[in-house]
Copies of this chain bind each other. A is one copy, B any other.
Amino acid sequence: MLTVAETAALLRTFDNILILTHIRPDGDTVGCAAALCAGLRALGKTAYLLPNPGLTDTTTPYFMPYAAPAGFVPDKVVSTDIATVGLFPENAKPYAQRVDLAIDHHPSFERFGKANIVRPEAAACGELIYDILAELGPITADMALPLYVAISTDTGCFAYNNTTAQTHAVAAALMRTGIDFKTVNKVFFRTKTRKRMALEADMLNNMEFYDGGRVVFLYVPMSLMARLEATESDAEELSSLGGQIEGTDCAVTFRELRPNVWKLSVRTGPRINATNVRALLGGGGHAAAAGCTVEAPLADVKHRILRSIAQNAPDFAE
């Protein structure tokens, strides 16, 4: 495992570099890749990002200035914010065995590169890229803007529990370069599509409470998505809505993927272990957030998850 100084020294030896981002790319992987690309170009190197078919409207503007032209043949390959080769997009798979440097912040990072650096305590991989770029030279606004996207999106604009003092210290340094952070905040944190708003309104209108109001169920049936002509992008992170409802410490979001196939997202507070709840139905996750997919009619799925919650929730009120 490399140090920041060793990583910077290694990057100085690279040229003709292709940078990889993960499948379903978020602000962190896109921001890290773009900032690193800008930093390498500032050293006079040729560097590009491998096009990622999963970009959204919000991340595209930060990615496109660095997208590799067709036919670019790299000498070196670097990955940013990718924990395992299983998270490579399809077009990145050919590079899985030849990643020269993998830079990540996930505890589950699998060290798949020839050289690797990881910082699991960082809220965003962008914090680590910041330190690497600072070692390579002055951080310009070209690098600071995508890094601000990386750090702000991975922390829900500094509101999630992964935020640290260091996160804010890096944000302060990035903003001192004069970047347009206001547009980033507006686009990522203060804008919702009309369809997203309609989705949330329907979920709130039809939510159901159990266990004396402590457990809430929210529904996203296929019929709702169809009626609103909503896209996957409109439905991103919908499961965070249930976690915001006052007085609840267990929110289950039921998303219908195919007829009678329901993806359940379970978010819990300290009283209930989400993984135990989900274990009775199959699936994976952490103590506070877990998910599983169940093939059954909705009434049956509800009955089973509610029984599982009752078995795992102290003082469950029938």
Q: Which of B171, B193, B200, B201 contacts A246 (CB 8 A)?
A: B193
CB closest chain-B residue, reference A240:
B190
The 5 closest A-B pairs by CB, nearest first: A168-B172, A165-B175, A201-B204, A169-B172, A168-B171
* Residues from 125 to 155 in A contacting B, C-beta threshold 8 Å: none
* Residues from 178 to 192 in A contacting B, C-beta threshold 8 Å: 181-182, 185, 189-192
Given known contacts A159-B185, A197-B204, A205-B205, A246 and B191 CB-to-CB distance under 8 angstroms: yes
In this complex, the member of A166, A168, A181, A207 whose beta carbon has the largest number of chain B beta carbons within 10 angstroms is: A168
A interface SS class? helix
Contacts of A244 in B (CB 8 A): 190-192, 197
The smallest beta-carbon distance between A302 and chain B, in angstroms, is: 20
Contacts of A198 in B (CB 8 A): 204-205
* Residues from 44 to 78 in A contacting B, C-beta threshold 8 Å: none
CB closest chain-B residue, reference A203:
B201
* Residues from 156 to 179 in A contacting B, C-beta threshold 8 Å: 157-161, 163-169, 171-173, 175-176
Are B166 and A172 within 8 A (Cβ)? Answer: yes
A194 to B216 Cα, complex, angstroms: 11
Contacts of A163 in B (CB 8 A): 181, 185
Question: How many copies of this chain does the complex contain?
Answer: 2
Given known contacts A158-B157, A159-B189, A165-B175, A205 and B194 CB-to-CB distance under 8 angstroms: no
Interface size class on chain A is: 35 or more
CB closest chain-B residue, reference A198:
B204
Are B246 and A194 within 8 A (Cβ)? Answer: yes
Q: Which of B159, B169, B243, B247 contacts A168 (CB 8 A)?
A: B169
The smallest beta-carbon distance between A224 and chain B, in angstroms, is: 13
Are A190 and B246 within 8 A (Cβ)? Answer: no
Further pairs besides A190-B244, A192-B244: 14, Cβ < 8 Å: A157-B159, A159-B185, A159-B190, A165-B173, A168-B168, A168-B175, A172-B172, A191-B244, A192-B245, A192-B246, A193-B246, A194-B245, A200-B201, A201-B201
Q: Which of B166, B202, B243, B245 contacts A197 (CB 8 A)?
A: B245
Contacts of A157 in B (CB 8 A): 157-159
Contacts of A207 in B (CB 8 A): 197
